[in-house]
Amino acid sequence: MKRFLVLIAIAACAALPALALRAANWRLGPVVDTAIFGVAILAAGFLLSWGAEAAERHIAQGLILAAVALITVLPEYAVDMYYAFQAGQAGPESPYVHYAAANMTGANRLLVGVAWPLLALLHWLKDRHRAIELTNDNAIEVSFLLLASLYAFVILFKGSITLFDFTMLVAIYGGYVWRVRNVRKSENPDGEDEPGPAAALNELPHRTQWIVMAGLGLAACGIILWSAEPFAEALIEAGRAFGINEFLLIQWLAPLASEAPAVSIAVLFVLKGRAAGGLITMISDKINQWTLLVGMLPLAMTVGARGATALPLDARQIEEFFLTASQSLFGVALLMRLRFSLLSATALALLFLIQVSLAYYFRNEEIRTIATLSGLAWVYLALASVLFIWNGRRLLEIIRFTLGSSTAAANPKTSNPARGER
């Protein structure tokens, strides 16, 4: 508990400079402001993650599960919703439209291209296991990620994200929550506590736990909402001041700050010998962002515009979205056997490194950038198609399991320690 209090104090101290600057309406320059407000969002994200991980031990209802999932990624939502809101106020030709799309696609690709491989690598380094083994129950996550990824191509063909898409994506996420609501949540088979600060929280009396978790959540939400606007604007100004491509800066730097706490929790699971729980947490975050985050962009734009509107995708954004959707399908294809191998992780990481390197290299050449994005997207799609054809039977088994059939999925395990670990 003492260590937990120290961590809380560190997070609070990290957030204080941002709160002071915002309260006094001071600015210290774009780079310093980006760092100060970014650190505050990072600290708040950790507070949210600690409380959410502790709360999940007591969660049984799908509605609460959805709320916890949403809270966990609130830092990412806050930044992206700000860009989308500003886009609504400024109009569809505003650069904020591009910023909103950049942040969304960057966050989604970082999860699959960096977070997933990182967990597999740590699992191998710690236990010398060449794959993270999932269970039959995890077929639900794989199926709904597949569904969300396929719907992304509907958006792609339309060339815009509309309020209708918001409705459909929320429905997909709602279906996911409904399907997992009755899945048994088993305790850690090794009898270990939750990793990190969650273990300290779970040692407290039940009522005190909920009070502390509520306090952490409220404090973190306040910090994030207070810091999102100056962080987002400082990021843009920093790019302009140093001649750095604003799109790339928002696409990769902002998600790194907002996603770090959730990824850190997943890493702690791996280090505790519970790699499946960490991977499922990341897959669930991907489902969350690929449905709710994407769907809420036109909603935020509508609020900003004070009238129904859609988030348009220009030629660059269409290829960015195409690449993100194709990477997502490839990630799903790699999970068809309900295992995530070191080889799969290496493939995702190398392809991600290639796309980031090429994007930076062609950062000032729009036509070459678009061509590069398109080419890489087709590579992902081709690889995914081969794996889906190769594992066609297992795909059908996973779908049948998700629909409630008693047919076993690809993995012979039937228990689900991973869900209990989340």
Which among 155, 134, 154, 147 is positioned nearest to 173, based on CA atoms?
147
The percentage of the chain sitting over the pLDDT mark of 70, rounded to a whole number, equals 84
231/141 Cα distance (integer angstroms): 33
Model confidence, pTM:
0.82
pLDDT average, residue stretch 248-269: 78
Mean of per-residue pLDDT scores for the chain: 81
| Confidence class for position 146, pLDDT limits 50, 70, 90 | very high
Using DSSP's 3-state secondary structure scheme, residue 215 falls into helix
Sorted by where each starts, the structural domains of the chain and their CATH numbers stand as: 2-421 (1.20.1420.30)
Does residue 74 contact residue 48 with C-beta atoms inside 8 Å? Answer: yes
| Confidence class for position 414, pLDDT limits 50, 70, 90 | very low
Q: What is the pLDDT of residues 26-65, one digit of tens each?
A: 778 888 888 888 888 888 877 777 766 666 666 544 444 4
Q: Which residue has the higher pLDDT, 122 or 188?
A: 122
| Confidence class for position 419, pLDDT limits 50, 70, 90 | very low
| Confidence class for position 161, pLDDT limits 50, 70, 90 | very high
Any residues with CB less than 8 A from the CB of 258 and at least 6 apart, and which?
41, 42, 45, 73, 75, 76, 78, 79, 107
